[in-house]
Structures are given as structure tokens and as C-alpha cells.
Structure 1
Amino acid sequence: MLLLFKAWQLHIEDCEHLESISEEMFHSTNNSLQSLILRRYPNLKTLPDCLNTLTRLTSLYIYNCENIKTPLSQWGLSRLTSLKYLGIGDMFPDATSFSDDPHSILFPTTLTSLDLSHFQNLESLASLSLQTLTSLENLAIYGCPKLRSILPREGLWPDTLSRLDVWSCPHLTQRYSKEEGDDWPKIAHIPCVDIHD
């Protein structure tokens, strides 16, 4: 188990036998914590209830926590109004979408960078309401073999989006590949696009 703690950063990884995170470790940092990283925490089932109270949090990365049962729609991320960088991956193995509620707002509009990786059954990003992320500059999607569409629900991208990276998503490669994909014209305006298997 690795636990790295600084006044503004908390990094927890390789916790193979733990099923929860003590909220006590957050109490003294609620007003100062800016970065939280959880990685390789295979038995973690729930996130701390206080997650959405970390109002100064600017970056959050949660990877390889495949047994988290709390749906993304209940994480309360939209309340984290300082959050700029978000990365999530290797969880929700059965999910085809991030939310069943078409009107839910999952992320704060302050996000500038969003990384999504290794969602094995994810089919659509429509529930993320990407068009509402009016500060989004970078979107990266890796290892989502069943994902068929990345367009926001209304088909409009934030004007701020300047980079799109898609790797190991075969359906997306076919649809959005430069000049050859049927949907290439829908992303051609993005200044930097990198799509490959």
C-alpha cells in the first residue's frame, strides 16, 4: 500500500485488501486538498461521502477501482467548482452508460481536461452532457471497445475543445478517422485530433 500525503495532495494506491477509505483522513484537509489520486484499489466499494465537500480540489484521478458500486451520478462531482482535471477508468465493468437520467449534470463546468479509460461495456457518452462543459479543452478516451459515439447529446462540442485523443476504441476509429470516417466532419473543426487503434 502506498499512501502519499501532503497538505494539498493525497495519493492512495495498491490497497488490495481495503474496502473503504476513512473519512477522517480528509477532515483536516477539506479546505486545502487540491489533488486526490486513487489507483489500484480493487476492493473499494464506496467513495467517501465527503468527496463533494472538497471545494478546493482541482484534480481528481480514480483508476483500477472496479468494484465501486456508487454510480457516477451520485459522486456529487458537479459541486466541485474548482475541479479542472478529471480522470476515471477501469470501473463500472457492466455499465453501458454513465447515467440513466438524461437531465443529470455529472461534472462541473470548470473542467478543462477529461480522461476516460477502459470502460469495457460503455456504448455512449451522451449522458455526460459534454456540451455543458464550457471550459473543456482536452478530451481523451482510451480502451473502450464498445463505445460507438462521442458526440454530445445535442451534437455540439464546447467551443473551447482544442484536443481530442481516442485510442483503442475500434468503433470510434471507424466513424471518426480523418477524412475517411463518416463522422469526421463533425470533429474536423477541433484543432488537434489523434485517433488510432
Structure 2
Amino acid sequence: MAENAAILVNKPLLDLSLNFVPGFGREIMNGLEPPPGLESLFIHGYKGAFSPWLSSLHRLRVLTLVECDCQVLPSLGKLASLESLTIQYQGVNLYGVSKVGVEFLGIEQGKTSSSSIFISFPKLKQLTIHFMPSWEELEGVEEENSEKITIMPCLSELTIYDCQKLKALPDFLWKTPLQKLRISGSPILENLYRKEIGEQWAKISHIPNTKVGW
């Protein structure tokens, strides 16, 4: 495995697609060492915890995770070049994820000093999340840290499909330069953000292009 990893890391690859079959994956994932210049990565069918190398691909611009069954989403907020992130699950996968915490944003609890400024997902423009049936919460940052942490400052398009238990979206999203918002198959969110009558419609009313519901 180490020899194969070395071969991969030395390849001048810009795009990589990884398709895992049931019963195999963790050893292969841990042993991989993708080339540092990788710009696009597609992972399908992986089951288990993601390896640390995923959050070290600092030239990665496009990341797609499809049917990856895990209890915790990987820490991706430190990816300096990531512009498009798609997380898509079908069938019965990912029933274990109920909360997406600050680790996903690349924020390490208790490690933000009073003088440091951290930017999470500094270049992310497009975020799509599709079918996370147990997802209830997307965590933001505490009020005392909001001035020294900036989250998704370039986000222009947000799409959320089929997240039936998601209770609300964090306020940091409404501070981003969103131009397009799509929410469907997510009844709690649809009630909250429905045009003109939703309890939290005012929070998204400034977004030029919104569609809530089918």
C-alpha cells in the first residue's frame, strides 16, 4: 500500500475519482497519498472516518462526496482553494449524522487566540447538500468568537434538498454574499423561510434569487 501511495502522490493528476465497494475502503483511504496539486476529487461509497490527508489538499477546488457513510463529516473549512462542495447521499446512508459541528468548518474548539483571525472555507462559492435524513443541526460560532472568525465569505449559491429534520440554518450564512438559495424536501426549513409568511423569512429576504419548497 505504501508503494502504491507513493506512485499516486508523484502523478501529475488534477482530477481523481475514488469509487469504493462494500467491505473495502478504510485501509485504502488511509494509505492513499493524493498529489498535492489535485484540483477536483470525487469520492463515492466510502464508509468510515475520513483520513487527515483530505483536509490538506490546499489546491482542491471541487469536492464531491456521494453515498459516503460516516458519523462525522470531515474537517474541510481549512481548504484554501475549495470553490464547490457537494455532499449527496442516497438510499439509507448517513443516518448517523445528526449534527454538523464547527470541526466541519475547520474550527478547533478552544484554539482560537484573542489576536488571531480565522477564515473558514475562504473561497467556497457553491454548497450543495442533498439527502441527510437525520441531520438536525448545523453549528455556527459563539457570539464572542464571531469577530475573529469569518465563515464562507465568498458563498454565492446554497442548495439544501431532502434534509427533513434540519431545524434551522445558522446566522453566519446570512452574512455571506448569497445570490441564490434553494431549499426543498426540508419541511421545517420551508416553514421557517417561506416567502413573506415564514417566521425567519426576513433573514433571507435580501437574497436576490430564492426558492423555498418545490
Q: What's the TM-score, normalizing by structure 1?
A: 0.79
In 1: Cα distance, 2:56 partner to 2:97 partner: 26
1:179 paired to 2:196: yes
Quick one: percent identity of the two aligned structures?
26
Amino acid at match of 1:174: N
Contact 1:115–1:141 (CA under 8 A) maintained in structure 2: yes
Q: CA deviation at 1:23?
A: 5.2
How many correspondences in the alignment? 182
Structure 1, residues 130-175: CA drift from partner, whole Å, max 9, x if none?
A: 962111111111111011212326xx61341111111100111112
1:57-136 mapped onto 2 (5 Å cutoff): 57-66=60-69, 68-69=70-71, 71-72=72-73, 75-90=74-89, 92-99=94-101, 105=107, 107-127=120-140, 132-136=151-155
Match of 1:49 among 47, 52, 57: 52
CA RMSD of aligned residues (A): 2.9
Contact 1:84–1:113 (CA under 8 A) maintained in structure 2: yes
In 2: Cα distance, 1:45 partner to 1:94 partner: 11
Provide closer, same or farther for how the CA distance between residues 6 and 16 of structure 1 changes in structure 2, counting only shifts above 3 A: farther
What's the secondary structure of 2:100's corresponding residue? Answer: coil
Structure 2: tracts of 5 or more residues without a match: 1-10, 109-119
In 1: Cα distance, 2:12 partner to 2:187 partner: 40
Contact 1:142–1:167 (CA under 8 A) maintained in structure 2: yes
Structure 1: tracts of 5 or more residues without a match: none
Q: What's the TM-score, normalizing by structure 2?
A: 0.73
In 2: Cα distance, 1:77 partner to 1:151 partner: 18
Match of 1:7 among 13, 25, 28: 13
Contact 1:98–1:127 (CA under 8 A) maintained in structure 2: no
Provide closer, same or farther for how the CA distance between residues 26 and 165 of structure 1 changes in structure 2, counting only shifts above 3 A: same
In 2: Cα distance, 1:6 partner to 1:194 partner: 41
Structure of greater Rg: 2
Match of 1:143 in 2: 162
Q: CA deviation at 1:15?
A: 2.3
What's the secondary structure of 2:53's corresponding residue? Answer: helix
